[in-house]
Amino acid sequence: MFEAVARYPPEALAQHDRRYRRWISERLRSGRAVGAIAEGPEGPCGSGVAWLREEQPRPGIPHRVVPYLMSIYVVPDQRGRGVGSAVTAWLVRWARARGFQRVVLHATRFGRPVYRRLGFERSWEMRLGGSSIPSAPIRRPLDSVPRSRPTRRRRRGRARGPASDASRRTLSESPRFDLE
């Protein structure tokens, strides 16, 4: 799949393949992922994986685990025949049958039209990594910067929301950095 969607040197693909096989094998054995293989007249012609990925709790979403569709691939001579759609639809049905209301994926340029036809909507994600990480160092920890005077506490009732004593303690103990 990575050979088809991006230009990586063969040694990087071989190294990735070994890591990915170990990683996905563990998830398939434990039930944290399920694979689907489409069979054509001449054998396997497409495949994909639903990885049950843990996310942060969100309002209105009962599951902290969200199926993430990945590694969807169709052999070149079978593209444009509905194989990718069939694999994706099977994985979505599998997730829905288990009560998941939401399924996510990252689409390559090859997959975008397929996923759009299946009802997926574009979402927005931003990324920082690789060559986009700024090279400027963080100058100094905020712990070395004088802090402002503490504000008065409320006289009545408990603190509400994230400003509880426990979160204040946790936040005050967290490392702070000056981004100047």
Per-residue pLDDT of the chain (180 residues; tens, 9 = 90+): 666 666 778 888 888 889 999 999 999 999 999 999 999 988 999 999 999 999 888 887 777 899 999 999 999 999 999 999 999 999 999 999 999 988 999 998 888 999 999 999 998 888 787 655 565 555 555 555 555 555 555 555 544 444 445 444 444 555 555 554
pTM exceeding 0.85: no
Domain chopping of the chain, boundaries: 2-124
Q: Where are the alpha helices (DSSP H) in 34-162?
A: 83-97, 112-117
Topology at the third CATH level for domain 2-124: Aminopeptidase (3.40.630)
Beta strand spans in the chain (E): 33-40, 43-54, 65-74, 104-105, 140-141, 177-178
